[in-house]
Chains A and B, each alone.
Chain A
Amino acid sequence: MLMIALTKGRLEKASLPLFEKNGYGVEKLKNKGRELVFQDTKKDIAYFLAKAPDCITYVEHGVADVGIVGKDTLLEENCNCYELLDLGIGKCQFIVAGLSDCDLWNMTGHIKIGTKYPRVARQYFNQRGMDVEIIKIEGSVEVGPLLGLCDGIVDIMETGTTLKENGLVVFDTVSEISARLIVNKASFILKKEEILTLLDDIKSKEA
């Protein structure tokens, strides 16, 4: 039996077709009742939904054997698992953005960066050799520069519409992001056959 943790929301919707088209029975996930754990109707697999960082936690502890999580969260959280497949869904980018009149790279004064991803932001600016203050913001990060909380932001961007609507421009791309399939280390050894089959099934569709 494999237990799979799916990231709630956007990734959940994008990942269900991967399972469905490859012979997995995910009907129960599409018509959710009050259940929390959903049995696959064709295979010996169960699914449950969790927030992205929680998916990592469940997989690390081996409560879930497999998880589907965005690379953005994997980069931000310390993940002690294997990352065996790029699912090619949930594609977006980590970007640095700010108001168009801000010359972030040449500022001499104190620089403040607002972000939901402090670790990613810290690493990025360290690599550029820039000394910045990171301010953690939980949501609607675009508002930060508009209202003067920070000079720039590090965030994920899908289409760029929200940024544009708020008058922000992209200064740089930090990295490309997509959904990854992560696997618990013990499960990968003790349930290798099942996990390799799952990988094969989902991968074959992509190719």
Chain B
Amino acid sequence: MKFYSPLGTRDYVLEEARLKKQLEREIDARLASWNYQEIETPTIEYYENYQVGFESLNEKALYKFIDEQGNLLSLRADMTIPIARVVAKKFRNAEMPLRFRYCASVFKVHEELTGKKNEISDCGVELLGLPKETGDLEVIICALDVLSTLENMTFILELGDSRFFNQICEKVEITDEEKNHLAKLVGEKQVTDLALYLEELALPEDYQVIINQLVWWNGKFDVLEKARKKIVDADLLRILDELAILYEQIDYLGYGDQVHIDLGKIGRLNYYTGIIFEAFVEGVGLRILSGGRYDQLLKKFGFDLPAVGFSIKVDQLLKKMESPAQPEPITIEYPQKLMLEALKKRQILSGQSPIELKINNQLTDIRVRGL
């Protein structure tokens, strides 16, 4: 018999558990202050929902099992798909926009022994029914607001637009397979292999230059200027303009220093339809927040609705959290024969501080400490 936690999972106990819950509460309170409403969905979803939602689904990454009727189920891999399902079913006639927030466990199977967790806690929001002109800024500022309220965190939010890469691919007319490969090379900033592959594809010279530069067009606001000098295409220029306006608005609201631009950000192909962003914190190697606009997703569930959202990776952030001082409990010591009276005492004292019951048969009467 083996009595361990399953591969890729972990237990949270005592201080770790306390920290996690506290962080989730802090984030949740901040999201609530933006008037995002709570939503809870089942831990299991029909596998089909993920298949429909994510065109390029990595099926190995989903936990799969079968219900008693033979339907394929999976543990939810994110909260966006379940929320899209709920909204498409139950909120067709609702007043728009809709704002939802959640804190939930999501499950993804990772390669064994890589130090990555298969069950993680995601806290996030979805803003549905607002197009990019009105929705993007709110969601980005909300993300920045949450991150800013967390103590001892130096963070950068990196902002890109998935349309930039997609438009380029459309202009050069490559196949889906070629686009997938190109997306991998750009996304992973594989400088050398990217240059070689572009030569192999024999794309027009000016587009080769642009795609090679995607790897380097990241950093402070001025990369938009750099990019503009190399680009003549009107559609691409329009995306740069929109990013510039968005950045200026973010800057006006006081977050300019925390936001970088990355024009080479790809994200999940055939899913994001506009802005995409990720945030990183000093001292944590993996991203702690990710999000973007996905205007085509709800349509797949039968309700054409623009949407934008983000989620915060609580487990990653925990690495940076300092343990909070815990209030000293009040103790009620009592000899066993006075158990009933001791519990009565507890009822009377019950309030803000935790109360610990302690048996001490040396005593003849109840003793209360730490009041």
Q: Which residues of A contact B (CB under 8 A)?
A: 57, 59-63, 78-86, 180, 183-190, 192
Contacts and interface: CB of A to CB of B under 8 A. Distances in A.
Given A186-B287, A189-B260, A192-B219, A83 B280 contact: no
Contacts, number: 61
A190 B188 contact: no
B111 interface: yes
B285 A189 contact: no
Contacts of B193: 83
Of B192, B280, B283, B285, most buried by chain A (CB within 10 Å of CB) is: B285
Nearest to B189: A82
Contacts of B190: 82-83
Contacts of B154: 190
Contacts of A78: 111, 114
Given A189-B158, A190-B154, A79 B188 contact: yes
Interface of B is mostly: loop
B286 A61 contact: yes
B211 interface: no
A63 to B, nearest CB: 7
Interface string B153-182: 010101000000000000000000000000
Nearest to B190: A83
Contacts of A190: 154, 156, 280, 282
Contacts of B285: 59-63, 184-187
A59 to B, nearest CB: 8
A174 B114 CA distance: 27
8 contacts: A57-B115, A78-B114, A81-B188, A180-B192, A185-B280, A186-B285, A188-B189, A192-B219
B189 A83 contact: yes
The contact size tier of chain B is 20 to 34
B137 interface: no
A78 B114 CA distance: 10
A139 to B, nearest CB: 21
A192 B189 CA distance: 14
Given A62-B284, A185-B287, A84 B111 contact: no
Contact of A84 (B215, B282, B283): B215
B280 A189 contact: yes
B189 A84 contact: yes
Closest 5 CB pairs of A and B: A62-B285, A186-B280, A82-B189, A86-B192, A83-B190
B111 to A, nearest CB: 6
Given A63-B285, A186-B284, A190-B154, A83 B188 contact: yes
Contacts of A183: 189
A46 to B, nearest CB: 16
A81 B287 CA distance: 11
